[in-house]
Amino acid sequence: DAGVTQSPTHLIKTRGQQVTLRCSPKSGHDTVSWYQQALGQGPQFIFQYYEEEERQRGNFPDRFSGHQFPNYSSELNVNALLLGDSALYLCASSRYEGRGNTIYFGEGSWLTVV
Amino acid sequence: GESVGLHLPTLSVQEGDNSIINCAYSNSASDYFIWYKQESGKGPQFIIDIRSNMDKRQGQRVTVLLNKTVKHLSLQIAATQPGDSAVYFCAESSSGGFGNEKLTFGTGTRLTIIP
């Protein structure tokens, strides 16, 4: 049973460019959340997708957008990259309204903006 | 606003001893709490969770204690091993643990096990 998988694992982008990160949730999970973790800090919630819709959003600008596909996989898109967007981007999966279900994280995608 | 804080940023424990990592939260509506372990270069790994209707929950070598009166929770790790060295995060939510959680994380405590 595969856990949460993310790609790519590492990437370098230039300021002003756009990036797309991908996530496949754990088997049986239908909800995907994205978090940003800056170096030395705890993860911060970006947004959450369920049934292909954004359900909750954290305090992130519109440059951050996402998508969920019918197979529950998800993408995180960041436009007009800033140096401050350099971070580890984590995907977490869970089962919506599934009491007792654990939230699992992937290994993350390391984004460096130069 | 919501915040989850940790009392100590670093903790060093002798191998074989027990360790206690503390966490304070400020949101009185928080009703679901999770402890994660994060090793260098990896994603957070679930350790144990607890809901607000419980004071204590035990897992394998780990125990989480929740004191809602003072908005404090702790993670106890028994008989620490070198593999326990990592950064530990507490996270909280006010969604009751139904899977659609928006987790708020603290900054983490780095646990170092001394051989």
User: pLDDT by residue (tens digit) across A63-82?
Assistant: 999 999 999 999 999 999 99
Place of tokens 């969920």: A68
Q: Where are the domains positioned within chain A?
A: 5-113
Q: Give the closest-approach CA distance of B79 to chain A in angstroms.
A: 25
Q: Give the closest-approach CA distance of A82 to chain B in angstroms.
A: 22
Tokens of A89: 């981007």
A105 neighbourhood in chain B, CB within 8 Å: 36, 43-46
Q: Where are the domains positioned within chain B?
A: 4-95+107-114
Q: Does A60 touch chain B (CB under 8 A)?
A: no
B44 neighbourhood in chain A, CB within 8 Å: 43, 90, 105
For B4-95+107-114, which CATH superfamily applies?
Answer: Immunoglobulins (2.60.40.10)
Q: Which of B4, B49, B105 sits opposite A102 (nearest CB)?
A: B49
| B73-to-A18, A54, B35, B41, B78 alpha-carbon distances in Å | 40, 31, 10, 26, 16
Confidence of residue B41 (pLDDT cuts 50, 70, 90): confident
3-state secondary structure of A51: coil
| B105-to-A35, A74, B51, B76 alpha-carbon distances in Å | 10, 22, 16, 18
pLDDT value at residue B99: 63
- pLDDT at residue B7 greater than cutoff 80: no
CATH code of domain A5-113: 2.60.40.10
pLDDT value at residue A100: 59
A45 neighbourhood in chain B, CB within 8 Å: 102-104
- List A110's β-bridge partners, or say none: A10, A88
pLDDT value at residue B54: 94
User: Dihedral, CA atoms, B74, B53, A30, B42, nearest 10 degrees?
Assistant: 0
Q: Does A89 touch chain B (CB under 8 A)?
A: no
The average pLDDT across A39-57 equals 93
Tokens of A1: 């049973």
B48 neighbourhood in chain A, CB within 8 Å: none
Q: Give the closest-approach CA distance of B32 to chain A in angstroms.
A: 11
